[in-house]
Structure 1
Amino acid sequence: MQTTIVWVLLGAVFGAGVAALFAAARLRTAQAARVEDQKKVVELQATLQAERAAAGEKLALLEQAREKLSETFASLSADALRRNNDEFLRLANENLQKFREQASGDFKLTKAEIDNLVKPVSETLGKLERQVGELEVKREGAYHTLTQQVKELATGQSALGKETRNLVTALRAPATRGRWGEVQLKRVAELAGMVEYCDFVEQETIEGEDGRLRPDMIVKLPNDRCVVVDAKAPLMAYLEAVECTDEDTRQERLAQHARQVRDHMMKLASKAYWKQIGESPEFVVMFLPGESFYSAALEQDPSLIEFGADSRVILATPTTLIALLHAVAYGWRQEKLAEDAEQIARLGADLHVRLVKVLEHVTKVGRGLRTAVDAYNDAVGSIESRLLVQARKFQGLAAPAERGIEVLEPIDRQVRHVQALELGLPEESAAPDPDSGAGPDVP
């Protein structure tokens, strides 16, 4: 476990180192770009200084030219100088002003161009500084998070070790250890859907040849069969092995744990639960409340499975017992389906009897309808041939009559036969086809 913590810490330090190297590489790249941009700024500043120096030289040349012109005209005659001095000075001042304005415009134009060139560089440098700052913040946050996670892992590991020690201390008491096994057994049964009031019974006492037997759970099977589960497996040697720091002592305790498991299997085999409980399979299930108990015993004694099969004692962990109980639950579902199918068959047979009775009544009604139709048709034929002939003679003699004699139509529709030979009803003779020309006899 300490090796695991060391590997986790090494992994954390390695991850922090990789993150730091990645941030350093990004920082070096950003610094290199910044140095390159600074070089460009220096070059542009040098160009600006050169332009400023050139403008200064032009102004100096203008001043020198002005001085030379003043000296030249000073040597002329005073009269000509006085006449032309003001005009010359005016023109000189105008020209000088034009040169100054031109030089100032050139300087402003050069400054604007330099500003346009420097502005993107300044913006890039600003973005770079912000990105570097964000990377630094993220790096510090990641390092802080990693440090916090390592601390939480160490705290959790310490708490887990403490809880493990508390559990080991608590399980040293036989009553606590037995109750814990029963709770685990009940939890496994609940996970498998074997509800207590339906499919299993806890702590049932059985009177046997050697006295009272008390299995931890009896799993009821269909057809009044059951399987006994015992959860009193010895765990003391394994718990001592967990606390051992010396490897040799730990292996000795694990070997003792395997022997205790084998001895308990022999005790269960000697109790022969299947002889005390009727219609029970000839085996008993020995429940180990954890996968680690089973794997540790099997690692020390690989023949435990064969020994259990020969002794009619089946070792079961929570995983295997859940699978076994799922199979039992499936058997109960099949049993329920069989019971439902049997009840459906009974209901079907009763429904068949009632249906036959109803069809017999319907058949009688059909016969009565056919008899009534035949009688009606006979009466209509008799009226047509015997009464209406004489009545129509009255109309020919102009005998007074409020209404004419209506024509009586025979009923040509046939009553539909009930075809129910599969229900055991006798087949009735077919009625005459109205299209064949056959009709009722007319007397």
Structure 2
Amino acid sequence: MTTLIFILSLVATFGVGLLISWLFAKNKYVKSRRSFISNIASLSNEKEKLEMMVGQANRELKEERDKVIELNQNVASLETSKDHLIVQLQTQKSDIEKLENKLAKEFENLANRILDEKSEKMSRVHGETLKSILTPLKERIHAFEEKVERSHKDNLERHAGMKQMVYDLRELGIKMSEDAQNLTNALKGSSKTQGAWGEMILERILERSGLVKGREYSVQESISIDGKRLRPDVIINLPDEKKIVVDSKVTLKAFERFASEEDPLAKQQHLKNHVQSFKNHLKNLAGKEYDKLYGINSPDFVLMFVALEPAFNTAIRNFPDIYDYAFERNIIIVGPSTLLATLMTISSIWKQEYQNENVLEIARESGLLYDKFVGFIQDLSEVGKKLDGSRRSFERAMNKLSLGTGNLVRRAEKIRELGAKAKKEIPTNLVKKSKEGEQLEIN
């Protein structure tokens, strides 16, 4: 009995345990299911958001692709425009050269077509009219052709001249260095003698630069400013009425003593005197205020020309800050070689300026030629209208002669048929036409 009760108790306990386990598992399952459903809803929302973001990204990507396509089309259009402009520039010269022949042929063909269709009298009258129109036009075309040829020739000469100037620059630099070194010992005289020698070197450089005296530069021009009389050695003219003043300075006494002195201490003192002489020249030149001589048309500096290259180089080696010292006083120091290079550059600028003026003149003449051509076309149109009017008047007069019942030709021919004596006869084609015209009128 006790055993049975124990077994029943054990079974009941096991059953209760199973029931509790089942209830716990069910509760856990319900919670897990709710969490799973919640996660599915959250993932669904995330999916919708991601789909919206993907759609927006696709739209933006399409817009960017459209922009890239549009930019590529613009680039292609610009490349095409560039190529077209290059072709136009290349063909412009040949078009100008062909213009005269083309216009002459068109004028001749047009005039011939008009003159061949008209009577001798009308041809003579209008031939004289055409001649009066074409003669000035031919002269203008010829003048235009000469300007184009002259411009082309000037361009070739300019390039050849530049090549020659570069060669001359090298040769002159060598020669002037040799001349300066050889003349160092000879120029031990007065400051006036040295100054004259420096001006001679300056004049030689100006002659070799390609600039024209009296046009691109002037020498020893006397100018008054604030009651003071100034006489710059050289005034260089630039385009747009700008000016550059060149002043020649020669310092040889201290340099000659420095070059010939053998004692080191005395040699060093002469070198200091040479550098000090340079400084004094710079101060004196700055005091003249040449850079303010022409107001707004003057550059902000003056060129101080030192004719002796060895003296110039010695001062630079022993006074490295000399350029800054001069520039603070609105002065630029130049030797023969650097001055010649500067002047040759200015000469090249002037040649380019003259070339540009020729181009502008060609453009102006082209405009006048075009206007003249338009006027000629208008005159020809008026001549054509008048000739058409004359032709219509002629046709009306001929119709009166040969068309209609009882036209004049037919009546005159009947008079002859009735026995009128006449020495001349009406042309057969006109008589035939009058009969046909009369028959048409009857029908």
TM-score by structure 1 length?
Answer: 0.48
More relative contact order, 1 or 2 (CA 8 Å, 6+ apart): 2
**Which is richer in helix?**
2
TM-score by structure 2 length?
Answer: 0.48
